Structure 1
Amino acid sequence: MTASSPSSLLRIGLTGGIGSGKSTVAEQWRRAGHRVVDLDAHSRAVLDVPGAGVEEAVDRFGERYRDRQGTIDRAALATLVFADDEARAALEAIVLGRVDEAVAAEERAAVLAGETLVVHDSPLLLEKDHEDDYLAVIAVLARREDRIDRVVRDRGRDRTYVESIMAAQVTDLERIRRADRLILNTGDREVLARRADRALGAVLQQAEDSAVR
């Protein structure tokens, strides 16, 4: 994760399993004018742009994981790391330090822009036990079959791939236990948007109430 955020920022964590609709919620808040830091996008950039991260990954996992563009074949590498705890830990060691630097830069930019809120869109927030880094953690939940169908349909992945990622993530029961707020993605996009705004509004109201006590 990142180092402590600047004291003037309220930091909220947004998380959810693959296919839950977390990214849709993040985009809803981004359109509303909130700064949303996409940790997964920063992670992908480490392996999608030729440079030190790519070379370190190739050194560790082999040339067979370099694609024709000179970056990492992330689909092939994902198949490996979601089935091999040691490989996953090695990949995280390559990626996470670079992600921390990118996120810290975004937070500095937020402070310079006079912003008071930053949302971290973080799919592995609970898996990495980072909930204490946030004022509040909001988790998006959806039915298992809906999640699988969504990823197969929208991302062109097969069911086995989706289930392998689900197996490496915490369960929704764990999300329910550990998150401060839940957003249930059981309706259409308009319903999800209303629930997302209500959850974020409740967290911000609670923060405001605490500040004036």
Structure 2
Amino acid sequence: MRIGLTGGIGSGKSTVASFWREAGAALIDTDAIARSLSAAGGAAMPAIVAEFGSSLQSADGALDRAAMRELAFSDASVKARLEAILHPLIGAQTRLEEAQARAAGQDLIVFDVPLLVESGHWRARVDRVLVIDCEEATQIARVSQRPGWTEEAARAVLAAQASRTQRRACADAVIFNQELSLEALRRQVLTLAQAWRRGK
């Protein structure tokens, strides 16, 4: 079974992803793939530098993500230009990792896709979609506490993502991660994994 895992920034999706791994699922993290591609020596870096210039490259040769965020907020075309470089490479790596998981006999493959709803094509690629949801004020508060993030930046990313209503409309299951303890969140994920394994 292929499961699409998504949620807005600050929803707790990454924590949920770790619980799927605990449940024995193969986890394919598209955000981690993107970070790898744009790390120092990453396959996307030559094209990124050619497109945007060396000022978007940090001293170690990786993409300066904070500078890229600022540029994207000031120029609406930046996001599409960056995605045109990254998305084909992410897609190729995702297919490779899926093939490896299938070859290893995995019965659950979880695709962690932050922009699953926005992409328009992921819903057809997976059997079930799990959405991690919480109130927008909570998302902003959580993201604002991350190193290098401001409340303004968190609000800008939130505004660019699908709405909570749009995400929930795509979901086969929703976990409302508002005031859950880590253990309560873990139990919900493990229970859902067991149910979906049984085809329920």
Structure-1-length-normalised TM-score: 0.86
The answer to whether structure 1 residue 45 and structure 2 residue 33 are counterparts is no
1:43-65 CA-partner distances (Å, limit 9, x unpaired)? 11111132441111111112211
Measure the CA separation in 1 of the matches of 2:147 and 2:69.
14
Q: 1:22 aligns with which of 7, 13, 23?
A: 13
Given the alignment of the two structures, is residue 96 of structure 1 paired with residue 52 of structure 2, yes or no? no
Alignment partner of 1:152 out of 144, 150, 169: 144
- Is the 1:148–1:162 contact (alpha carbons within 8 Å) kept by the matching residues of 2? yes
**Could you tell me which of 154, 160, 168 is aligned with 1:168?**
160
Unmatched segments (≥5 aa) in structure 1:
1-9
Give the Cα–Cα distance (whole angstroms) in 1 for the partners of residues 136 and 190 of structure 2. 23
Question: Deviation per CA, 1:121-150, whole angstroms, max 9, x where unpaired?
Answer: 000000101211110111000111221121
The match for 2:22 is: 31
Q: Which amino acid aligns with 2:92?
A: E
Letter in 1 for 2:177: N
The separation in 1 between residues aligned to 2:74 and 2:19, in whole angstroms, is 33
**Alignment equivalent of 1:68, drawn from 50, 59, 62:** 59
2-structure distance, mates of 1:168, 1:199: 29
Q: Please give the alpha-carbon distance, in whole angstroms, between the structure 2 residues aligned to 1:83 and 1:140.
A: 29
Matched, 1:177 2:180: no
Q: Distance in 1 between matches of 2:146 and 2:46?
A: 30
Aligned pair partner of 1:142 in 129, 134, 147: 134
Q: Structure 1 149/104 Cα, relative in aligned 2: closer, same or farther at 3 Å? A: same
Compare 71-80 and 38-47 and name the one that shifted more. Answer: 71-80
Specify the code of the residue in structure 1 equivalent to 2:32: A
**Offset, 1:81:** 2.4
Q: Is the 8 A contact 1:12 1:119 kept in 2?
A: yes
Please tell me whether residue 198 in structure 1 is matched to residue 191 in structure 2: yes
- Give deviations 1:24-83, integer Å, cap 9, x for gaps: 000011122211111000011111132441111111112211110012101111222255
Return the TM-score normalized by structure 2.
Answer: 0.92
Question: How has the CA–CA distance of structure 1 residues 189 and 107 changed in structure 2, closer, same or farther, with 3 Å as cutoff?
Answer: same
* 1:200 to partner: Cα distance: 3.3
Letter in 2 for 1:177: A
In structure 2, the partner of 1:127 is 118
The answer to which of 62-71 and 195-204 deviates more is 195-204
1:136-171 residue CA offsets vs partner (Å, 9 max, x unmatched): 111000111221121222445110111111011001
Identity of aligned residues (%): 36
Cα distance in 1 between the residues matched to 2:112 and 2:172: 15
Root-mean-square deviation (Å): 1.6
Residues 25 and 193 of structure 1 are in contact (CA less than 8 Å); yes or no, is this contact kept in structure 2?
A: yes
Aligned residues: 198
